[in-house]
Structure 1
Amino acid sequence: MSFTDTERVILANQYEILGKLSNEQAYLDLAENLKDGHAWIYDQQILVSPIFSKEQSDFVVSILELYDAIQDSFDALSDKGSLTPDRVKFPGFDGNNEGEYMRFFSALVKNQQFAHVKAHTNSHMQKISTYEGMLSKWESLGKGYMLSLEDIEAIFSR
């Protein structure tokens, strides 16, 4: 990561203040490395994730809207067929391969967005292609929010 001289001074001042307030030498050392321009050293300590794109954000929001519709529809069904509460729970994203999606989902919940959607935290398997297929099937069904048992089963079997 590259910083302008101005950005390095600002960050160095912030880390120096943090180091003095918390009495942590590591912050003071980082401030010194920023001031001295030791990019290799501060690049190892200041880790910033890439920007999560609008397309990625829209995808996560869409899949959560779908699971919201599935869960509301499931709750309203008198005959739930072979569906179970665990089956209609949002599986989440794979922490090893879809971590940025997992972090965005967690941020949404933390910010009270889709916090009511019942979900697992980590799917432990890659799910993006599965979700793409589910969204495509939901789209072909008219993207309704009140789904029949057959609609839900079709979305899951896509």
Structure 2
Amino acid sequence: MNMSHTERLILSNQYEILSKLNPEQADVYQRAKTIIERGYCLQLLELEKSFGHLERDTCQEVIDTLEMHHAMMVSFENLPTTEQAEFTPARFKFNGYSRSQERELADYVCFLLEVDKRFPEVDCPCEELSSDIAMRDKYQRMLAAWRDCPRSYKLSIQELRKILNA
């Protein structure tokens, strides 16, 4: 992280203010203030990691994944009852991303749900939306199968099977 002396001074002052506003986190802010003031390069990289960064394509992939789950649920609900019996509605529920392995993706989902108020059909509190395993690869395969379908919101039972089994 390259910062001018002015930027370092401003950030140092902000950490000082934060330590006064949040006494329970004062040690964390004082440590960050010291790192900024003294220019410890290795620890500056550590501070930089907390800022995060998601590329535009990755953001769109997450949005598409949520949209796909919505489309599958709508399609499931529109199937004849005899075909619905093949699945449980839980199969179409969005399970989230792994907080331990895909934290930035999970945080973006929380942003979309809680801040932007998108995808109200995901009726699970954000802190509970976390898969035990990494899901991105699975969701990418599912998205590829979904994109091959001619009507994304009128999926047949065969198309639903194909997406779920991707």
Same fold (TM over 0.5): yes
**1:151 maps to which residue?**
159
Cα deviation digits, residues 93-118 of structure 1 (max 9, x gap) = 12222222111111111121223235
Q: Is the contact between residue 97 and residue 103 of structure 2 (CA under 8 Å) also seen in structure 1? A: yes
Question: Cα RMSD (Å) of the superposition?
Answer: 2.6
1:34 corresponds, among 32, 36, 39, to 36
Shift in CA distance, 117/2, structure 1 to aligned 2, threshold 3 Å:
same
Identical-residue share of aligned pairs (%): 28
TM-score (norm 1): 0.81
Q: Is the contact between residue 20 and residue 28 of structure 1 (CA under 8 Å) also seen in structure 2? A: no
**2:120 maps to which residue?**
115
Instruction: Output the CA distance in 1 between the equivalents of 2:123 and 2:10.
Output: 42
TM-score (norm 2): 0.78
2:135 corresponds, among 119, 123, 127, to 127
Q: Please list every run of 5 or more consecutive structure 2 residues that lacks an aligned counterpart in the other structure.
A: none
Secondary structure at the counterpart of residue 87 of structure 1: helix
Cα deviation digits, residues 2-24 of structure 1 (max 9, x gap) = 43212211111112223334457
**1:82 maps to which residue?**
86
Instruction: Output the CA distance in 1 between the equivalents of 2:77 and 2:12.
Output: 54
Cα deviation digits, residues 42-91 of structure 1 (max 9, x gap) = 65566524311111111111111100111122223332132112111112
Mean Cα displacement is larger for which, 63-72 or 135-144?
A: 135-144
Mean Cα displacement is larger for which, 80-89 or 70-79?
A: 70-79
Within a 5 Å distance, the mapping from 1:1-158 to structure 2 comes to: 1-23=1-23, 25-26=26-27, 27-28=29-30, 30-40=32-42, 47-79=49-81, 80-111=84-115, 112-118=117-123, 121-158=129-166
Deviation at 1:38, TM superposition (A): 4.2
Q: Is the contact between residue 64 and residue 114 of structure 1 (CA under 8 Å) also seen in structure 2? A: yes
Instruction: Output the CA distance in 2 between the equivalents of 1:128 and 1:12.
Output: 37
